[in-house]
Amino acid sequence: MKTQNAVWHHATVTRELREKQNSHKSVVLWFTGLPGSGKSTLAHAVEEKLHEKMCRTFVLDGDNVRHGLCGDLGFSEEDRKENLRRVGEVGKLMLESGVITLSAFVSPFKKDREFVRCLFPHSEFFEIYCAADVAACEERDVKGHYKMAREGKIKNFTGISAPYEKPVNPEIAVDTGSQSLEACVDEVIELLEARGIIMN
């Protein structure tokens, strides 16, 4: 930290009080997977289901944060690392606010995902692997990115010209490549219920 004179202010309204008011615990759900694997789609669908259950939520979407918070970053390995560091720090603040945060980011490197996980030392970070292979993602290609990557118009594109390191031990791996969206949502909701984040 470059600022030497900043002192953390402890709020009188605590995370525990906010969670009690919300009637659920706060947690960070980290959706990772190849481009087009359904991370954002699943995150927003899970949020809709949680909203129906009267939970307080917020989605941090990879594309959206690059319109502001991370608008100065590119897609080099160092920029990707800084992108995730910033989002992880936002996630920490959201955790204190008592909400369920759903973060949807390719986050291709294990070491970067582990760095973010280490920001949450008390089992408050759930890695959700959206398991769809390149063929399935390329078949969808709703944004046309795979086609442009194949043509060399997009450099450092994960899955084509840049690697993706699969999670070794995620909290859950969801088969977004072949399962229905509804089935994937149910798996995530069941995980949250089993871990006591939300009530059944």
Q: Write out the chain's pLDDT in tens, 200 residues.
A: 567 777 777 888 999 999 999 999 999 999 999 999 999 999 999 999 999 999 999 999 878 888 888 888 888 889 889 989 999 999 999 999 999 999 999 999 999 999 999 999 888 999 999 999 999 999 988 889 999 999 999 988 999 999 999 999 999 999 999 999 999 999 999 999 999 999 87
* CATH annotation of 15-133+164-191: 3.40.50.300
Catalogue the active-site residues.
107
Angle between helices 77-96 and 110-117 (to 10 degrees): 20
Q: In this structure, what are the phi and psi dihedrals at residue 108, rounded to the nearest 5 degrees? A: -75, -20
Domain ranges of the chain: 15-133+164-191
**DSSP assignment letter at 177:** T
CA-CA distances (angstroms) from residue 104 to 35, 85, 150, 193, 196? 10, 14, 24, 20, 22
